[in-house]
Amino acid sequence: MRGLQMAMIAGAFALASSGALAQPSAQTVGSKVTTDDSATIGTAGSAAAGGTSASTIGLGANSTGKAGTSSVVGGAGSAAAASGKVRSDTKIRENPQMLRSQSKAKAWDGGTWSKSASNTKVQHDGDLTSRTKSMSHVPGSKPAMSTTRIGKR
């Protein structure tokens, strides 16, 4: 009898934990550090729901010294699904006004999905901005969302 009770308790814990894993979650973070002649910025985020997850990051920096001004931007994204589809993409662009990184990642399995997107800009006038938005959803529950913006809007 005691073994049956322990098995039922273990089964209840397993069922409760599997329900917790299916709940959507999303988190984002960001930081900016500035000194007299340089600045660094970045945001990152991740989302998970059911058997899906997606994460992105965007980073940028500029520095002014005796040799002139240097700027750099980067980004990355990753997605995973236990038994679904995934997509991730990062684009780096340069024009006369700025460097820009755009990263997107998405994983979906039926109506359950997770996605994240990061967008970072390093403008040649010294302004740095970064934004990351992460979201996830399980059918029948409220979507989880988180957004972090750093820098000038």
Per-residue pLDDT reduced to its tens digit, 82-93: 999 999 999 999
Q: What would the mean pLDDT of 56-72 be, rounded to a whole number?
A: 91
Instruction: Find the distance separating the first CA and the last CA of the chain, reported in whole Å.
Output: 65
User: Under DSSP, is residue 9 helix (H, G, I), strand (E, B) or coil?
Assistant: helix
Provide, rounded to the nearest whole percent, the portion of the chain with pLDDT above 70. 85
| Burial class of residue 11 in the structure, from the number of CB atoms within 10 Å of its CB (0-12 exposed, 13-18 middle, 19+ buried) | exposed
What percent helix, strand, coil does the chain show, rounded to 5? 15, 65, 20
d(CA 24, CA 120): 26
pTM here is: 0.83
d(CA 135, CA 153): 21
Please, what is the average pLDDT of the chain?
Answer: 86
pLDDT above 50 (res 7): no
Per-residue pLDDT reduced to its tens digit, 34-53: 998 899 999 999 999 999 99
Q: Which of 84, 151, 91, 99 is nearest to 118 (CA)?
A: 91
Q: What would the mean pLDDT of 45-65 be, rounded to a whole number?
A: 95
Q: What would the mean pLDDT of 138-151 be, rounded to a whole number?
A: 95
Which H helix or E strand runs over 54?
strand 52-65
Q: What would the mean pLDDT of 94-119 be, rounded to a whole number?
A: 96
Q: What would the mean pLDDT of 55-68 be, rounded to a whole number?
A: 92
Q: Are 87 and 103 in contact (CB under 8 A)?
A: no
